[in-house]
Structure 1
Amino acid sequence: MLSFVANDAIVKHLSQQIPTIQVIFVRGFIASTLLFFIVHATKLGSRLGDLRNGRVGLRSAFDGLATIAYLSALAWLPIGNATAINMAAPMLLVFLVVLLTKQSVDARKWMAIGAGFLGVILIVQPRLDGMNRYALLCLLGTFLHACRDFVTRGIDPAISSVIVTLSTSLFVTVLAGLCLSPYPWTPITWQEGGLLCAAGGFLCVGYLLVTISMRAGDVTVVAPFRYTGLIFAIALGWLVWDETPNAAAWTGIAVLFGAGAYVLRRERQRSHSQLDAQPD
């Protein structure tokens, strides 16, 4: 989440001078190049055929469309509004898990996830005047991100997370390139190029870690930790723009951490109960 927040901040900053779709394309090209080096360094070249796997492709499609939608909206929305909408992804993900897999989620866990979202609202305090067609586009991106995370769970464990990440990065880059093709190219300065390289690096790290966590961890436990992105965003705002939370925001932070800790504690208790119930 820290990597994604840093990436989003750079993209939003650069989108003031460069068309957002061009930023996404160049950033994706840089990230894909880095990932190809990682594939070579880890001797995974023989597994590039896994890029043709159906679930890997479906995950990449969801992520590519989600990225275009969210970052396009972020360029026009107040960052508080966009962040608040995007933090709905864990709830949407749990909803998809319950709806499509019939996995039981007790009422207390639902309440904890809802409390976490309330904490997010208290932190970002979105303004009603920012809710427009771009907010709907951001909401669409959030739903597609939840679909991406759900599909990630069904990918064959034998397929390397690096390959899954490369597939996503390539899809985003190609899709952005197709969207960019009708428009003129905006020149990029050396400083902007450096920031794009940094964004590509952060994107690689974020892609890899979110892929690993969604494949290896329990979705209902991992999903609420997406809220930590708000904490990193607050820290970044304080360090870079000298922004500090007000009383309502600090209350939201407390609620957010409390809800996340509660979900983790409940899940650990359930796991221990299942282990105790197993025969020796």
Structure 2
Amino acid sequence: MALSNNMKGAVLMALSMAGFTCNDALVKAVTPFVNVGQIMFVRGALTTVLVYVIARQMGALRHVRILKDPMILLRIGFEILAAITYLSALGNIPLANASSILQSLPLAVTLGAALVLKEPVGWRRWTAILIGFLGVMIIIRPGPEGFTLASLYVVVSVFAAASRDLATKKIGASTPSLTVTLFTAVGNAIVGALLIVPMGGWQPMSGSTFGLLALASLLVFVGYQSIVMAMRTGEISFIAPFRYTSLLWALGLGIVFFGETPDIWMIFGATVVICSGLYTFYRENKRQLADPVGQESQPGSPV
């Protein structure tokens, strides 16, 4: 049986989360040896080469004039901001904690979809959004005992990523997803190169460090491409909850490879955030069932 566009978007979102979270683990492993700028540059450059070769083979390249589309420029800008803040946090916060805060992203996207895209959001989902962000506060625990600057970086990254996703939704359907991915990777590489010196200068890399970043670049490509296609294939309110699969990856990777033990506050806060997000999904699904007219899935986007 053929999948609906919403289900295709959900599968792509889950694949994207697996790629991004495994990439996060690899990046966290190299943060003691290289700075954030160098990570962004090396990973971005390798991703650029990979995407360029694939896009060229598939005939998905577009002229640089495509950057005149303000939505593409906005997407690249927000993606870069999200990368800088999140990578800065990874070396100083447990992987599961960072991922738990990121679970508020569907709530931030729903909030943005209501404010920017004018998607209907009732009082119940507004309440769920508020409760979800209270869950984030439980995770970061403002105060001298629980709060860290790294936690604040992840919160900034959440809102930057939500803005990125909303901009993605507004990119013209004629623009291939690979083109969007390519320009995003190029932007990350350029900004990363500019940040190397301010962040401490270039550090020699061992073969293992370079290998981990090379693998991370492949996973970033999987994440980039999957999330672009997901946001352009399905409805935001339907596919956003599938981001929660990233927490499962983060918990497992953190325990196995970094010896991290999630505390009760992180687990409780993450549960509040996820339940709030799932409730917003339930309410959106109920709305669609009550109003099937005009809720048909959108056409699939070009590769």
Return the TM-score normalized by structure 1. Answer: 0.83
Q: 1:47 to 1:275 in 2, by over 3 A?
A: farther
**1:43-58 equivalences in 2 (<5 Å):** 43-46=59-62, 49-58=65-74
Q: 8 Å contact 1:120–1:256 — kept in the other structure?
A: yes
Picking from 198, 208, 211, the partner of 1:191 is 208
1:202 corresponds to which residue? 219
Picking from 27, 30, 34, the partner of 1:14 is 30
- Of all paired residues, the percent bearing the same amino acid is 33
* Backbone CA RMSD of aligned residues: 3.1
The answer as to 2:183 corresponding to 1:167 is yes
Structure 1 residue runs without a partner (length 5+): none
Picking from 226, 231, 236, the partner of 2:248 is 231
- Letter aligned with residue 268 of structure 1: N
Shift of 1:229: 1.4
1:65 corresponds to which residue? 81
SS, match of residue 159 in structure 1: coil
- Letter aligned with residue 176 of structure 2: S
1:176 corresponds to which residue? 192
Return the TM-score normalized by structure 2. Answer: 0.78
Q: 1:33 to 1:52 in 2, by over 3 A?
A: farther
Q: Encode CA deviations 1:209-253: one digit per residue, 9 max, x unaligned.
A: 111122222222333332321122112234435667677777777
Pick the structure with more helix per residue: 1
1:88 corresponds to which residue? 104
Q: 8 Å contact 2:106–2:277 — kept in the other structure?
A: no
Stretch moving more, 229-238 or 187-196? 229-238
2:238 corresponds to which residue? 221
Q: 8 Å contact 2:111–2:129 — kept in the other structure?
A: no
Provide the rounded CA distance (Å) in 2 between the counterparts of 1:181 and 1:80. 30
SS, match of residue 275 in structure 1: coil
2:20 corresponds to which residue? 4
Q: 8 Å contact 1:11–1:20 — kept in the other structure?
A: no
1:35 corresponds to which residue? 51
Shift of 1:148: 0.8
Shift of 1:205: 0.6
Stretch moving more, 248-257 or 186-195? 248-257
Q: 1:137 to 1:53 in 2, by over 3 A?
A: same
Picking from 126, 144, 147, the partner of 1:131 is 147
Shift of 1:268: 3.4
Shift of 1:273: 3.0
Shift of 1:109: 3.0
Q: 8 Å contact 1:73–1:134 — kept in the other structure?
A: yes
Q: 8 Å contact 2:96–2:254 — kept in the other structure?
A: no
Q: Encode CA deviations 1:68-115: one digit per residue, 9 max, x unaligned.
A: 122112222343443343333222222222222333212333445556
Structure 2 residue runs without a partner (length 5+): 1-16, 296-303
Q: 8 Å contact 2:96–2:262 — kept in the other structure?
A: no
Provide the rounded CA distance (Å) in 2 between the counterparts of 1:106 and 1:224. 18
Shift of 1:258: 5.5
Provide the rounded CA distance (Å) in 2 between the counterparts of 1:255 and 1:130. 18
SS, match of residue 45 in structure 1: coil
Shift of 1:34: 0.7
- Letter aligned with residue 14 of structure 1: V
- Letter aligned with residue 171 of structure 2: I
Q: 8 Å contact 2:103–2:274 — kept in the other structure?
A: no
Picking from 91, 102, 115, the partner of 1:99 is 115
Provide the rounded CA distance (Å) in 2 between the counterparts of 1:125 and 1:57. 31
- Letter aligned with residue 56 of structure 2: H
SS, match of residue 101 in structure 1: coil
Q: 1:46 to 1:5 in 2, by over 3 A?
A: closer
